[in-house]
Amino acid sequence: MRKRALVTGAGGFIGHHMVKYLKAEGHWVRGADLKPPEYEETAADEFELLDLRRWENCVGATRDVDEVYNLAADMGGIGYITAYHADIARNNILINAHMLEAAHVNGVERYFFSSSACVYPQYRQRSADVAPLAEDDAYPAEPEEGYGWEKLYAEKLCQYYGEEGKLETRVARFHNIYGPLGTYEGGREKAPAAISRKIALVQDGDEIEVWGDGQQTRSFTYVADCVEGIDRIMHSEYRHPINLGTDRLISVSDLVDLVARIANKTIRKRFDATKPQGVRGRNSDNGKLREVLAWEPQTPLEEGMRETYLWIESELARAGRIPELAAGAGQQA
């Protein structure tokens, strides 16, 4: 059935992909964000430039829609979220509290909230060889300062709105989403994009800087799997927070090697232990996801990282920053 959907954060990475997914499914889509998408035109039927920290803007954005996908947040990679606790916590709680109430006031049928693996306690993530995190592990709470605490509290707000019959809410905890059309420089980029950029910009045999000692581990989720997972979770009857991630653990050092193979370059790594590395290890337990959806993300890391690397490389080439590729990219453009 054709629905009317609002996607917030539609100028950002996952929001832009979500708009494209919903349009391809035949729905009518309104996008809202502080900024338009950076790398290509939005596919939304309507796109509104709005600051969703403001109540009246949330009321306007949620008018006449059946579903809300709330993907707007002040966020970035580990360097950014460890540096700006006050701004991130304030901006995001204003967005989330106002969006929930506005969706309720406007009679929205279903509301999706994008939470994060950053809600999981630090004390469960002190080893690189970490046990995968299951949903119940979030408590007793000791999440990431600022960003993680806000996400955990916003999850609670979704729960309260659901329990009191104000709004049907769905919540997913994303685990490191990556893919083309995401930020790859400027300070907000995450490890897969940062590593791809660094490798694309050096020659075969050169050295790149890697944050931490490289032994910190993560699991990574391709953006096409993320938006499909959002759709499946949104239309399931499961009302509690659920992981949306993969359970293939890889160290950051091995991720660098994987991207170097894609780029066909030999890369030397200079580890900088003074740079933030976040928790030591983090993996997703997908037991609940499999049980609820009979589905989990499918894209192999090699395949997803190839798409990501090639896109970042082509962007840099187009900007004339990879001299040996610049001419060819110019002809294609």
Site for ligand NAD in 115-144 (CB under 6 A): 116
CB 51 to ligand NAD: min, Å = 5
Which of residues 19, 29, 30, 33 is near ligand NAD by CB under 6 A? Answer: 33
Instruction: Specify whether the CB–CB gap between 92 and 154 falls below 8 A.
Output: yes
**Choice between 108 and 117, CB closer to ligand NAD:** 117
Q: Compute φ and ψ for 293, nearest 5 degrees.
A: -105, -15
Which of residues 7, 15, 29, 277 is near ligand NAD by CB under 6 A? Answer: 15
CB 123 to ligand NAD: min, Å = 20
Give the span between the Cα atoms of 12 and 67, in whole angstroms.
19
Q: Does the CA dihedral 196-18-165-236 come out positive or negative?
A: negative
Which of residues 149, 174, 211, 309 is near ligand NAD by CB under 6 A? Answer: 174
Taking CA 178 as the corner, what is the angle to CA 27 and CA 197, rounded to the nearest 5 degrees? 130
Residue facing ligand NAD at closest CB distance: 12
Site for ligand NAD in 58-117 (CB under 6 A): 71-75, 91, 95, 114, 116
Beta strands in the chain (DSSP E): 4-8, 28-33, 46-49, 67-70, 110-116, 168-174, 177-178, 207-211, 217-218, 221-222, 242-244, 250-251, 268-272
Indicate the SS3 state at residue 209: strand
**Choice between 282 and 322, CB closer to ligand NAD:** 282
Q: Which entry of 21, 80, 111, 147 is annotated as an active-site residue?
A: 147
Q: Is 179 in the site for ligand NAD (CB under 6 A)?
A: no
147 labelled catalytic: yes
One-letter amino acid at 132 equals P
Contacts with ligand NAD by CB under 6 A: the residue count is 26
The catalytic site residues sit at 147
Contacts with ligand NAD by CB under 6 A lie at 9, 11-15, 33-35, 50-53, 71-75, 91, 95, 114, 116, 174, 176-177, 190
